Structure 1
Amino acid sequence: MTDIALLTIFVLAVFVGFEVISKVSTTLHTPLMSGANAIHGVILVGAIVATGETTSTVGLALGVLAVVLATVNIVGGFVVTDRMLEMFKGRARPGAAPRSEGSEPGGGR
């Protein structure tokens, strides 16, 4: 394929990817991030195996770089997922006394 055809495919893939991701509802972002982290775990294992099989210095350097980048990607994905899950937890109102179990609002008897 020519360079123009490859560049065209890349640009179209970027646009399609952006459109697909931007249309995902917020309730699906966390499961998608978890799935992406699982896929990146497989990529990390593949990078480790490929690095272990190489015999050249260039291959070793690229393999170590791939392992480092895959690890950073996985850790970053878990950090983002954790932050997203924190958004779904209820926030305590400042100055509001914590309610005990069994108490009714308004102090009714």
Structure 2
Amino acid sequence: MDVINHTVIDLIIFVLAIYVGYHVVWNVTPALHTPLMAVTNAISAIVIVGAMLATGLTVGAGPRFFGALAVLLAAVNVFGGFLVTRRMLEMFRKKEPKRIASSDQVRMEGTR
């Protein structure tokens, strides 16, 4: 006799995970955003491995389709995460100072 339905417990855990995740991400200082993105990419890579293992153990077309879809979506997530992390790191890179054109270059451009 189950007193509490397992679906209700799973739903409560899901809602609590959303709540905690929201507060953890939004209260991170700006200096830690890039490391947070790197950790998120690592977790997504672990999800890809788990989805591949789960897909390999399934029997039937439906579960294999959804497993392949999970692998595809997790791969898109990792790829997008790396792009965002790269753009964030480029914001901190020092920019090259603009070179002042020499008088010869100015004269050559003026003749065009």
Q: What TM-score, normalized to structure 2?
A: 0.70
The correspondence of residues 18-97 of structure 1 with structure 2, limited to 5 A, is 18-93=22-97, 96-97=98-99
Structure 2 gaps, min length 5 = 101-112
Q: Distance in 1 between matches of 2:59 and 2:52?
A: 14
Aligned-residue RMSD, C-alpha:
2.3
Taking every aligned residue pair, what percent have the same amino acid on both sides?
47
Change (3 A) 1:78 1:61: same
Give the C-alpha shift of residue 80 in structure 1: 0.7
Query: Deviation string for 1:48-77 (max 9, x for gaps)?
Result: 111111111111111011000110010011
Give the C-alpha shift of residue 16 in structure 1: 3.6
Higher Cα Rg, which structure: 2
> How many pairs were matched up?
96
Structure 1 gaps, min length 5 = 99-109
